[in-house]
Amino acid sequence: MKKLIQFMIAIVLVSAVLWYAITELNSAQGYSGGNTLTIYNWGDYINMDVVEQFEKETGVKVIYETFDSNEAMKTKIEQGGTTYDIAVPSEYMIDKMIKEDLLIPLDHSKLPNLGNIDDRFMDLPFDPKNKYSVPYFWGTVGIVYNPSMLDGKEISSWNDLWDEDLKNEILLIDGAREVMGMALNSLGYSLNDTNKEHMLEAKRKLDTLTPNIKAIVGDENRMLIENEEAAIGLVWSGVAAEIMWENEELEYVVPVEGSNLWFDNMVIPKTAKNVEAAHQFINFMLDAEVAAENTEYVSYSTPNKAAMPLLDEELTGDERFYPPPELTEKLEVYENLGKRNLAYYNELFLEFKMHGK
């Protein structure tokens, strides 16, 4: 028993020494628990140079983690293992997180740079009056393709992808909403359709696309298309812009039947430990020069109107990536479909993926 007690005391002493050493190290670097900010964002979705600039200007240490889906992000925040101070969900997930009381209302008095955001990206249905979220980037879902690999063939419609000449030429995003939405739009339905017969019809149509599909992938689609290993990709507009920067022969189109208009916004989760620094960071990212620098790196469309004059006019004048209001008004924002409908979307998408194996 005496040896056990001595062992326990030794563990306590070692733990105390380690805690003291870590505390002193953080102190020496100018950081402490009170001035650390934990950010949860999509992969490769920020210029780390601006993050370093924020750290230098404020003395706040940024811990940066990434996720690959809205659902994974929400689950981890709900579990509460890591107390994220900022997250960057998409519009339908913001609506869901508001309804499930997972977000903290923003203090707009601490966000003077909010006036830099274009009015058409404010006060949207998923977050009226932007009580919980601030626009970060926006864009569309469409088709990037290589005309030289298609003998000059042009693509303007979702239905063009079912052409028998496109066997083994298409890369799809590994996302149920994007792929099911594509199929629903190709049939003339809304990408938020919850009619089970329509959803099943969309899945059956997707099954007939299988011979043309080379792979269903994540971020690898950039490399595969750049290397001309596939002629066509279902992509987000920012990914298309990055690929086209490397290969100017590529084209990007939002199909005539319609598509998704998406928004990613910055929010403060309910479990945040540093709400003050979270507001500081959001306001910092809304600065015109910071937003411009971040946009040049990320390549997605910025909602920051004050940053627009600081960007290359060749970029901001490209209607493929900065479509005019008359086009964006025809596109659809993903809606929160509810657990049952979303589960059915995911079930059908999984069946479709298994169909080609």
Binding residues for spermidine: 92
Rounded Cα–Cα distance for residues 169 and 161 (Å): 9
Neighbours of 12 (CB within 10 A): 10
3-state secondary structure of 31: coil
Cβ-count burial 219-251 (b if 16+ within 10 Å, e if not): eebbebbbeeebbbbbbbbbbbbbbbeeeeebb
Per-state percent for the chain, helix, strand, coil, to nearest 5: 50, 15, 30
Rounded Cα–Cα distance for residues 149 and 143 (Å): 15
Instruction: Report residue 162 as tokens.
Output: 């079912």
Point out the annotated binding site.
Answer: 92
Which of 157, 301, 309 lies closest to 232 in space, CA to CA? 157
